[in-house]
Amino acid sequence: MKRTDERLNALYESKIFDMNFRGTSADLSSVKIYTNKNSVHVEKQISFDSEYKPITSLEYFAGSVLSSILLAFLERPNRGSVVEEIEGVLNLSLENPLSLVGVKGYEEEPRITKMTVTVFLYVDLEDKAFDDFCSGALARSPIYNTLKRSMSLEVLFKKLI
């Protein structure tokens, strides 16, 4: 008899986890995005007004990237080492912002060309073990693994002392 896990691997569900989201716009100026049990209301893709308070699409996106990377450290299954402190900083560069606000003469597509994430963490490991621990954790961030193939996404690790 073949091993059980070989038969399991033939199953779609064992290889792919599908998720569906629905978005609506009742007022035709903002959108409501439904998650599994919740919803979020988004008014703008991005705001250039430093006093604008609601969360924009771009902020949700950046927050997703950063939270996914940090949580990859905290949720790591079968981890032998314990993260005692962690903090991250994300910097991103949006190219062609003037296309986004409709400035005549700028036609290029706005896009995020570069993101840098710096993770500061305290974990009781020496240098080589620390690096292995970090790269192992990062490998479990699906958002990182997706984006690293499509853009310049650098993740730096700094050991808190």
Partner 1 sequence: MSKDPIKVGAVIYDPRVTVIWGIISDFFKEEGLEIECVYYKDYEGQVDGLMSREIDIAWNSPLAWLDTYLRTDGKCLMGSMRDTDRDRKTVFVVRKDSGIAELDGLRGKTIGFGAVDSPQARLIPINHLHRHGLEYGADYTEQRFDIGVGLHGDHVGGELDAMKALTAGTVDAAVALDLNWEAWKKDGTVDENQLVCIDTTPLFDHCIFTAHPDFSSERFAEWQNVLHRMDYGNEAHRKMMDMEGLKEWVEGRISGFSQLREANGYLKFLNT
Binding site for partner 1 (CB under 8 A): 48-51, 97-98, 100-106
Dig out the tokens for 64 from the structure: 């997703």
Distance of CA 23 to the CA centre of its chain: 20
CB of 104 vs partner 1, minimal distance in Å: 5
User: Residues 6 or more apart from 56 whose CB is under 8 A from it?
Assistant: 42, 43, 44, 45, 46, 47
Go through the chain and tell me how many residues it has. Answer: 161
Of the two residues 110 and 136, which places its CB atom closer to partner 1 in the complex? Answer: 110
- Least distance from partner 1 to the Cβ atom of residue 46, Å: 8
Min dist. Cβ of residue 73 to partner 1 (A): 34
Least distance to partner 1, CB of residue 113, Å: 16
Q: Pick between residue 89 and residue 98 the one whose CB is nearest to partner 1.
A: 98
Dist CA 112 CA 114 (whole Å)? 6
Choose between 80 and 105: whose C-beta lies nearer to partner 1.
105
* Nearest CB to partner 1, comparing residues 97 and 142: 97
Task: Confirm if 153 and 117 have CB atoms less than 8 A apart.
Answer: yes
